[in-house]
A = this chain, B = another copy of it.
């Protein structure tokens, strides 16, 4: 064996062989998630150029917002420049103010924590559940009972004296958080739910769509998401006043007028350009097909890894119907220490697999933030490997698994 090859101990199962089995025709390097442009993408973007409407005003922005609202089962959708911006505005709409704390999972992409920081608020990290990878509402209930002080009529963290202003469930890899007990906690402690649905367009929790489960929600349409606008996001809510404020805040807080430039508060330049919305409109038309393909791919991975020692494919819970944005395997604890060796082996073989994110509480700028025991999330982070999950990869499995999906 050449010295440059990663050293893999013999007790690691042959994951590369399984990847080749599931993805026989995929051309290396196989990205983690590649978009599919098989619809009206060119027609709509060329239409923007032909009509001269590429920027902040244009019919595709309206159409995109309407379609996203419909697909997410909410009354109002406001397009934004990306998912991070959408989540930041969503937190502001929920009333997060400088000095507040916001409960977020430590197992998430850094944008969740950054959006809190942009509010001059402090992320307060909570643990994950093994059945959803998202916030564990049972463990959270015990923790809130311990730390919350409601004597002032507001919910304060009695250890820091700060107000707890929001809770942000994140549907990790598209898998819905167990929202009912979480919403019960939200009601009990009067802490609004801001749903980070960046990864979960098309996912369903007990018949209700991801993005419709909080006071206000944020979606992402980054290039790696199930549907992309190049870069983009959306703020979702059923509350008309919040929707009006979302549009106002994302468009520099300018008061409507034929020519005058009056702005009534510090606003943001978060408008989604029309050309990006055009791309999004074409992509949304294909969402059903993408979902079918991605769910079929998940089934294929499940079958292929079945019975393999030391590795478990992560699967949606009974109450969830996931979009399977990213497929994931969990390494058994016995081989978790080999994770990076396995990843190097996968990359060497042309599969751009990745671990999940470094937990937020391990990042230098967030290491001193308050947190509960986050041992489950920390353990999950050491054991998760995400597998190639683009919709194109699942197309071959729709005929086999499409009916069951």
Residues of chain A at the chain B interface (Cβ within 8 Å):
34-35, 37, 41-42, 45-46, 48-50, 52, 54-57, 81-85, 109-111, 114, 117-118, 120, 222-224, 228-231, 252, 254, 258-269, 271-276, 279, 343, 347, 352-358, 363-365
A262, B340: Cα distance in complex, Å:
14
CA distance A252 to B231 in the complex (A): 14
- A37 and B55 form a contact (CB under 8 A): no
A170 CB, nearest partner CB in chain B, Å? 14
Chain B residues near A363 (CB-CB < 8 A): 262-264
**Chain B CB within 10 Å, residue with most, of A120, A267, A269:** A269
Q: Give complex CA distance A272, B230 in Å.
A: 9
A–B complex contacts, Cβ < 8 Å, 20 sampled:
A35-B54, A37-B49, A37-B50, A42-B49, A45-B45, A54-B279, A55-B230, A84-B269, A110-B252, A230-B273, A259-B352, A259-B354, A259-B355, A260-B355, A260-B358, A261-B354, A261-B357, A261-B358, A263-B358, A265-B364
In the assembled complex, the Cα of A267 lies from the Cα of B264 at a distance in Å of: 28
Tell whether, in the assembled complex, residue B55 and residue A222 are in contact, meaning their CB atoms are under 8 Å apart.
yes
- Chain B residues with CB below 8 A from A109, complex form: 261
Shortest distance from the beta carbon of A361 to any chain B beta carbon, whole Å: 13
Tell me the minimal C-beta distance from A352 to chain B in angstroms: 8
| A55, B265: Cβ atoms closer than 8 Å | no
Please give, as numbers and ranges, the residues of chain B lying within 8 Å of A356 by CB-CB distance: 261
Q: Quick check: B117 and A266 within 8 Å, CB to CB?
A: yes
Residue of B nearest to A363 (CB): B263
Interface pair B46/A42, CB less than 8 Å apart = yes
Contact A271 B231 (CB under 8 A): yes
Nearest CB on B from A89, distance (A): 13
The winner among A224, A273, A358, A365 for most chain B CB atoms within 10 A is A273
Contacts of A84 in B (CB 8 A): 268-269
The 10 closest A-B pairs by CB, nearest first: A55-B223, A230-B273, A84-B269, A231-B273, A259-B354, A261-B357, A230-B275, A54-B230, A117-B266, A37-B49
Contact of A34 among B50, B52, B262, B272 (CB under 8 A): B52
Give the chain B neighbours of A222 by CB distance below 8 A.
55-56
Shortest Cβ distance from A233 into chain B, in angstroms?
9
Residues of B contacting A354 with CB < 8 Å? Answer: 259, 261
Contacts of A264 in B (CB 8 A): 363-365
A365 to B352, CA, bound (A): 48
Contact at B56–A35, with CB atoms within 8 Å? no
Distance between Cα atoms of A52 and B355 in the complex (Å)? 24
Contact of A82 among B118, B269, B353 (CB under 8 A): B269
Contact of A110 among B45, B261, B353 (CB under 8 A): B261
User: In the complex, are the beta carbons of A268 and B114 less than 8 A apart?
Assistant: yes
Q: Which residue of B lies closest to A362 (CB)?
A: B262
In the assembled complex, which residues on chain B have CB atoms less than 8 Å from the CB atom of A252? 110-111, 114
Residue in chain B with minimal CB distance to A114: B266
Q: How far is the CA of A347 from the CA of B257 in the complex (A)?
A: 12
Query: A109 CA to B228 CA in the complex, in Å?
Result: 31
Task: Known pairs A37-B50, A231-B269, A259-B352; list 8 more (Cβ under 8 Å).
Answer: A35-B55, A55-B230, A84-B269, A114-B252, A230-B275, A231-B271, A263-B358, A264-B363
Residue pair A120, B120 in contact (C-beta under 8 Å): yes
Would A347 and B266 be within 8 Å (CB), given that A46-B42, A54-B230, A231-B271 are in contact? no
A73 to chain B, nearest CB (A): 26
Q: In chain B, what residue has the closest Cβ to A48?
A: B230
User: In the complex, how many angstroms separate the beta carbon of A47 from the nearest chain B beta carbon?
Assistant: 10
Q: A263's contact among B46, B110, B275, by CB below 8 Å, is which?
A: B110
Q: How far is the CB of A362 from chain B (nearest CB, A)?
A: 9
Which residues of the other chain, B, contact A261 by a CB distance below 8 angstroms? 109-110, 354-358
Partner of A223, one of B56, B230, B268: B56
